[in-house]
Structure formats: C-alpha cells, structure tokens
Amino acid sequence: MNIADSIKCHGNLNRGCLSVVPKGAKTEQHYNVSVTLTNAEFKCSVKGHQRILSQGSREVVARCHGTVSAVQSVESDIYANNSRYIPVSYNPIAHPERPYFYTLDGTPIGKVARAYIITCDSIDTKARTRAYIDAN
C-alpha cells in the first residue's frame, strides 16, 4: 500500500488486522498501522447484510474505499477519546436494522472527505480495527 493508491479495506475478523486491496493488486494484511483515506466512502452490501442475518454466516460485506494520503505505524489507537474524531461502525449482529456504517448515535455514514482506519493490538474488537471520521 502506497500513498495515492486507490484501495478498499476492511477489518479482518479471522486475522485481527486490516485487510487492504489496492486497485489491481492482491489483498494485503496490515498490523499496527493507521491509514488516512481521502475521498472516502463507507460501503455495505444490503444483500450481504441480509444474508448474514438469515444464514448466520460471516462474510465481508462492508468496506471503506478511498485514496491513501498517509500511512503510519502505531502502537495504540491514536484517535480514541479525541474530540476531533468520530468513531464509525458496522455490526450486523449488534444492529441488524442498520445495513450501513454509522456513528455511535446511529447516523448513517457514506461519502466523507477523509477517513482514518487504524489497526493495532490494543483495540479490543475481534478485527483489532476501527474507523473514524472528522468531527467537523
């Protein structure tokens, strides 16, 4: 993954990392890294969301797309508890009524100017990955 790459990424529940697919390349796994995306879009397949609910299966149906503008190594979640950033989530089990990415108050999120995707060992989710957007 390089600066200016157009990528799709998602938290990998099996490997506890960030899976990144640069345009025209194979999937890469990244650990302990923060990626800033510009012209980002959080996308979720509604049909995939429904399949997860009806079949109880796990599959990748939610991703963030964008252009890499920065990559840095991290040891902790540098965005957590910082009022400049808003966490973004997608969890079909906890919120089956939400076939989309959303903020903590349930506001749907789609296209944004900038998204921050971070993965590190200290994040307490199965994928060890979180997403944030600017608070302004």
The DSSP secondary-structure symbol of 125 reads: S
Pairing status of strand 108-109 against strand 111-119:
unpaired
Average pLDDT for 86-105: 93
Is a pLDDT exceeding 90 seen at residue 1?
no
> What pLDDT is recorded for position 3?
82
Domain residue extents for the chain: 6-134
> What pLDDT is recorded for position 90?
93
pLDDT tens digits, 5-25: 899 999 998 999 999 999 989
Strand partners, 36: 70, 116
The model's pTM is: 0.92
Identify the three-state secondary structure at position 44: strand
* Residue whose C-alpha is closest to residue 53's, from 8, 4, 92: 92
Strand partners, 7: 22, 66
